[in-house]
Structure 1
């Protein structure tokens, strides 16, 4: 079952509006002084290479209990202290959360039981964007009853529908019959660099999902390798303003 994503939802936060385009550079407007990125270094001396191309050198760490590891994906909240270059900053880290990052799965590589475990339960996408020329980052909403009951999330490649010019991926959710009593919010990062065909530096990505309205939805954009990123459109679920969400468990 190591093909499946295991994440723990973060603390409850207000929901933010979507832009018409999905762009890693616009993430800062949703979450000031919060970045998704990758740790480079050791617990004694590390920096965070963010998904939007900034280098954050940690000079003060107010979250010393967090297990810093080289190459670990994190979401960090911080206070900027000094700009040291065009895209470089010294910062004070206020808190860090591990951001589990998984590869997409291919139906052709799964057993019938694993395919069944992908589930067909609804999921609402709140924000999504490409990051660092490598990742598809997603913030999502699901409904739960027991915050400790495990759910499954996976990004599934539609091999039959995909072409060398466009790849179709579906965000799948298995709630394991958990009742839909309260909102839960979470985030996940998928490494989609491998979806770009050999010899090319970009591909059109169409993300598909089915929300709680029961209507299939999709959004498309041009994903470019490395530091080049593009965008696509998503629609926030109606009536989600002024909602607070619960912390729940996903795997």
Structure 2
């Protein structure tokens, strides 16, 4: 299956299980996907992991922060989303950049359904605003109901159905525990990365079908199950990077 065919897999229409398409990129090109060129400077947004003061992006490029960077002291192993200006291309995969801002991303392991505490996981509504594969993770931008004045930290987990899943298909469910935070007060946003590699395991297959479900509102306010699905390419090194910034604003929800 080529890149065009793969992307088509994610453009499913709405059905009832209210299917919502979401972009899980595995074969986008770095230059085409994340860079916007001007006559003077290039800007980029990328996700990756900090290592020895640099950032290894999900596509395998190295971003070397310039001294002019804002908040460029990075902790090794920290997964981050960065907005930066490209100052110089040092070689094919290395860029010297000025970091304009960066956010530490919540990174979590999948929770196995067979050993999970269902009550602790919660069943509060959660929206998948965007999702994509990158760096061996399923990265998800979320919409959550919350009370801005409460300061409550919400619990988000990706549950892996280790009974129903096979070597060909992974069944995942996004779960949200708001800890009784006021419902339908305001919609906030958050971003998290969930480790896919540990549940894909030692499969020798080139691709695994991923099915993701979550509970959110349909038009009219009724809670329904939304679903989307597509292939995760286990052997591909050309995973996609998200092309927009995480929505860090006054509507950001604290999640754990």
- With normalisation by structure 1, the TM-score equals 0.75
Does 2:156 correspond to 1:153? yes
Specify the SS of the correspondent of 1:60: coil
Superposition map of 1:192-211 within 5 A? 192-200=196-204, 201-211=206-216
The one-character-per-residue Cα deviations of 1:85-116 (angstroms, maximum 9, x if unpaired) are 23321101122221121100112223xxx321
Q: Which of residues 234, 244, 253 is equivalent to 1:248?
A: 253
- Determine the structure 1 residue equivalent to 2:245: none
Off by >4 Å, runs of 4+ in structure 1: none
Does 2:107 correspond to 1:79? no
Aligned length: 212
How many Å separate the matches in 2 of 1:222 and 1:245? 35
How many Å separate the matches in 2 of 1:215 and 1:29? 37
Question: Unaligned stretches of 5+ in structure 2?
Answer: 1-19, 37-42, 242-248
- Determine the structure 1 residue equivalent to 2:67: 60
- With normalisation by structure 2, the TM-score equals 0.74
- Determine the structure 1 residue equivalent to 2:118: 115
- Determine the structure 1 residue equivalent to 2:101: 95
- Determine the structure 2 residue equivalent to 1:173: 176
Specify the SS of the correspondent of 2:202: coil
CA RMSD of aligned residues (A): 2.7
Q: Give the superposition deviation at 1:245.
A: 6.3
Greater mean deviation of Cα atoms: 152-161 or 49-58: 49-58
Does 2:233 correspond to 1:224? yes
How many Å separate the matches in 2 of 1:20 and 1:101? 20
Specify the SS of the correspondent of 1:116: helix
